[in-house]
Amino acid sequence: MSANSENLNRIVAVLPDRDLDALLTVDELAGLLKVPKSWIYEHTRKRGTEKLPHIKLGKYIRFEEHAVHEYLRQHTNGYCRIRRDA
């Protein structure tokens, strides 16, 4: 068994109730939030509550959509504008 397989098995064992297919890539999250990839990377390096929740898989970064939604909810400062094009 390769080192990568062992690492993935360890991650799956720690996160048995999570759907790994639902993990977002940096590109997907940047597209979803309509921000540059550099903004995503910058916010994974911050400290404390300002840090964007993510999972490291070796050199890869993945995001759980529900965790990102919660992060955004906590950081909207009570203001959330929904734009509807009609």
- pTM above threshold 0.75: no
8 Å CB contact between 31 and 12: no
Q: Give the contacts of 45 (CB within 8 A, at least 6 positions apart).
A: 51
What pLDDT does 9 receive?
59
What pLDDT does 62 receive?
95
Please list the rounded mean pLDDT of every run of 10 residues in the chain (86 residues).
57 57 90 93 85 92 91 73 55
Half-sphere exposure of 13 (CA within 13 A, CB side): 6
Q: Give the contacts of 28 (CB within 8 A, at least 6 positions apart).
A: none
Distance, CA of 10 to CA of 2 (rounded, Å)? 12
User: Which helix H or strand E contains 67, and what residues bound it?
Assistant: helix 65-74
What pLDDT does 20 receive?
58
What pLDDT does 48 receive?
74
What pLDDT does 54 receive?
94
Residue spans of the domains in the chain: they are 19-86
What pLDDT does 61 receive?
95
